[in-house]
Amino acid sequence: MMEVPPTAGAELPGPASFVVELTDFSGPLDLLLTLIREEQVDIYDIPIARVAEQFLQRIRTLQLNEAADYLEMAARLLRIKAQLLLPRPEGDEGWDDPRAELVRRLLEYQQMREVVDVLERAGEERRNRFARAYLPQAAAPPESPLALSLSELLAAVDRILRVTKDPGVHDVVPRAIDVPGAIGVIRALLALRAHARWTDLVTRGAEPWQVLSTLLGLLEMAKLGECRVQQPRPFANVEITRDAASEAA
């Protein structure tokens, strides 16, 4: 996302809206520094009452009064102004200038602006020179199932229909799938063999709920890191490998 740089003669934001990026200021400290510069006052001895007045004036004309950041600064200025009105203790010793924290922040902000100038110049220099625009192509996506021919698709459907028994009948069973049971079966198989195939787990004539349970159980185990599941190409037999890492753990 790029913010729109401030442009001369840009539309004034409506009364109910404020867009800080469209103004000439990037924040309350920026505005404050500008005021101090315009008033030509010493940053270490800011006439708070006058600057606070100007600040409020400015955020009113900028229609920024909704901006919490600016209001927070306005409140801070007014508080410092109030603190300065309090009588000081006898002698100036032990009196902390309430402006000190503000001065520190302004100086810090000014340092940052100096770095911004450096970066801006450097960025402009680089912007004006082009590099080769070649972008490496994204890794080739896996073969799309849409590239299948109709006969391949029908053959796949046929295989599924042959494996599942009587697919046309819908029996509502109380516990349609049994994932923990399937996990138990897969664990038992993997305990015996490091490698297994999908067809070892789901035999011909398996009920749809058994196929589903086995699939969900397998995915769950892969998620838990107990096994790895690979399919070399679409519709190929799924290869299941016991995960050596989880065994060691």
Partner 1 sequence: MTPLAKLLEAALFASARPVPTEELLALDPEASRAAVAAALEEIREHYDVEGHGVELTEIGGGWQILTRAEYTEAIERAQLAARPARLSAAALETLALIAYRQPLGRAEIEEIRGVSVGSVLKSLHERGLIDVVGRGEGLGRPLLYGTTPIFLEYFALRHLEELPRSDELAIALRAEPRAL
Query: Which residues of the chain form contacts with partner 1 (CB under 8 A)?
Result: 1-6, 20-21, 26-30, 69, 72-73, 105, 107-116, 118-120, 122-136
The residue (of 65 and 237) whose beta carbon lies closer to partner 1 is 65
What is 21-82 written as a DSSP string? GGSS-SSHHHHHHHHHHHHT--GGG--HHHHHHHHHHHHHHTT-TT-HHHHHHHHHHHHHHH
Shortest Å distance, C-beta 38 to partner 1: 18
The residue (of 6 and 180) whose beta carbon lies closer to partner 1 is 6
The residue (of 67 and 240) whose beta carbon lies closer to partner 1 is 67
**Is 196 within 8 Å of 189 (Cβ atoms)?**
yes
Q: Which amino acid is at 109?
A: Y
Sheet arrangement for strand 239-242? 195-197, 239-242, 227-230
CA nearest to 180, candidates 208, 218, 145, 152 = 218
Q: Which two tokens stand for residue 47?
A: 């006439």
Shortest Å distance, C-beta 118 to partner 1: 6
Shortest Å distance, C-beta 20 to partner 1: 7
Shortest Å distance, C-beta 91 to partner 1: 31
The residue (of 106 and 240) whose beta carbon lies closer to partner 1 is 106
Shortest Å distance, C-beta 85 to partner 1: 24
Dihedral in degrees, nearest 10, Cα atoms 157, 160, 165, 167: -40
The residue (of 128 and 151) whose beta carbon lies closer to partner 1 is 128
